[in-house]
Amino acid sequence: MLYRPHDRVPLREMKADWKSCLNNRTGFKSFARPKESQTKVVEFSFHGTTAELRHGDVVIAAIASCTNTSNPSIRLGAALVAKKVCELSLEVCKFYLLTLPVKPWINTGLAPGSRVVTKYLEKSSIILLTGSFSVSLLVVADVVWRKYLDKLGFNTVGEYGCTTYIGNSGDLDEEVASAISDDE
């Protein structure tokens, strides 16, 4: 389902909107799920560990090329949110492979968007010398980016151009895909 900018839902309204989506029978944002299945929990094995999925759980999370190529301040914001998550959750910083708030079965990634983005990530020390405010934001984001976003699983996937929106995020883990399709 493609979401357009004018379809944005404020965070404070997200819960009600999601419930509406589950109940809606026809039209945009309609899933027509019976009430009794809306709270269903599907258990599955993820590489030997018991895991759970519910309607609405995230299984693909990406910082897409359009976000970080065209708007450096959004990229900085994503990096600062990741930093705060790590600061508030010491387990993440110490044992992030075991206790990640981003569950290990979620397909995560960061698409640089263009070779220019890759270059300013690589050359951040040179960029720092320019003194430009917008470029300085990129330098700060790069430092935070590598340390915190990588810990949360948002590593650079090396794709230039669209990823998630056109299906180029890579396959879901087979165990996750089976849990979704078998218990539809």
Q: State how far the Cα of 33 lies from the Cα of 25, in Å rounded to an integer.
A: 8
Residue 79 burial by Cβ neighbours in a 10 Å radius (0-12, 13-18, 19+):
buried
| pLDDT tens string 69-97 | 556 666 666 666 777 777 776 554 444 33
| pLDDT tens string 53-65 | 988 888 887 777 6
Strands 49-54 and 41-46: antiparallel
Residue 172 lies in a domain: no
Mean of all residue pLDDT scores within the chain: 71
Residue 171 lies in a domain: no
Query: Are 147 and 87 members of one domain?
Result: yes
Count of structural domains, the chain: 2
Residue 129 lies in a domain: yes
DSSP 156: B
